[in-house]
Structure 1
């Protein structure tokens, strides 16, 4: 196995990355990101920003966030501690999977990351206390270009594994989708 393997998920453009994890009596090592390898897979990804989050309480939900062009971004998400239910929602205008979602369980040490292309909203639910994520972004965060979806929107019908806890006021304030939402035109 090479250092990274990329597998496409049911939503076109969404991938799970499997990292080769080297373990011995000292601990473990894994390459989490390699720009050259992603280019070889046809998924160029240049890192502009790296973020880290710590979610203290199991059941907490964060998201669903995205950025509109010209600041639409790809994201590479890895779980560094604990476990999360990581959700991607296709908000690409004209996509055959528009408003469809896919979730992956990411767990510290599992050697997996989720790679989201531009035009996807992202959110997650902590499946453990003290869940820590590392996010690599292809664009800078630009507050004037951010968008969000309601995590409880019946039109999305996301199957969250736990009851919600600790939803921020900002995330709770995202409106339910109506016919005026046309998505992100890339």
Structure 2
């Protein structure tokens, strides 16, 4: 595997090194030893998947508050997505910065997303399947989100969303969410 650190601290792209022959190819997608050598999470307690029918579908921007923050390892196993994170860690030099990677089934690159980041994606093709390895059990009471079009962040999405859930449309803009964070003590991730 090829590990590449990204501009948001703790975020990585992880690309498979494929061994090819007449049958096709083989690649390792996870190795506890290699992840540990890079200081990355090695314990993933949940493996989830999402399916999106239409190109332009937007899911996000989701995160888990303390005491249930999540590290995610995201891959697109069918189709293509534009995957995005926002750094919500106030003590981080990249606080409120966003970062995107294009993930596809063809290339097999994975996005390692550290705790304290909101995550979402937009599908670039129809019939997309995304897999998530998640380091913590889902805690509904700790679930949070930020609007995908929050002007304080300014994510430049590939296109206007064609499908988005009512829940994702109802997330507050960051200026209001920050007041909620500060009031509830959620600024520590």
| TM-score, scaled to structure 1 | 0.93
Quick one: distance in 1 between partners of 2:49 and 2:122?
15
Aligned to 2:38: 41
Aligned to 1:118: 115
Secondary structure at the residue paired with 1:103? strand
Aligned to 1:92: 89
2:66 aligned with 1:69, yes or no? yes
Q: As a proportion of its length, which structure holds more helix?
A: 2
Per-residue deviation, residues 85-126 of structure 1 (Å, max 9, x unmatched) = 000110112222111100000111213100011001100000
Quick one: distance in 2 between partners of 1:123 and 1:18?
20
2:141 aligned with 1:144, yes or no? yes
Aligned length: 183
Aligned to 1:80: 77
Quick one: distance in 2 between partners of 1:173 and 1:29?
42
Aligned to 2:188: 185
Unaligned runs of 5+ in 1: none
Quick one: distance in 2 between partners of 1:118 and 1:184?
12
- Aligned ranges 1:124-135 → 2 under 5 Å: 124-135=121-132
Secondary structure at the residue paired with 2:141? helix
Aligned to 2:7: 10
* Residue range with higher mean Cα deviation, 58-67 or 103-112: 103-112
Quick one: distance in 2 between partners of 1:92 and 1:29?
37
| TM-score, scaled to structure 2 | 0.92
Aligned to 2:160: 163
Quick one: distance in 2 between partners of 1:157 and 1:165?
19
* Residue range with higher mean Cα deviation, 22-31 or 130-139: 22-31
4+ runs deviating over 6 angstroms: none
Quick one: distance in 2 between partners of 1:26 and 1:162?
38
Aligned to 2:47: 50
Quick one: distance in 1 between partners of 2:155 and 2:120?
11
Quick one: distance in 2 between partners of 1:22 and 1:131?
25
Quick one: distance in 2 between partners of 1:152 and 1:104?
18
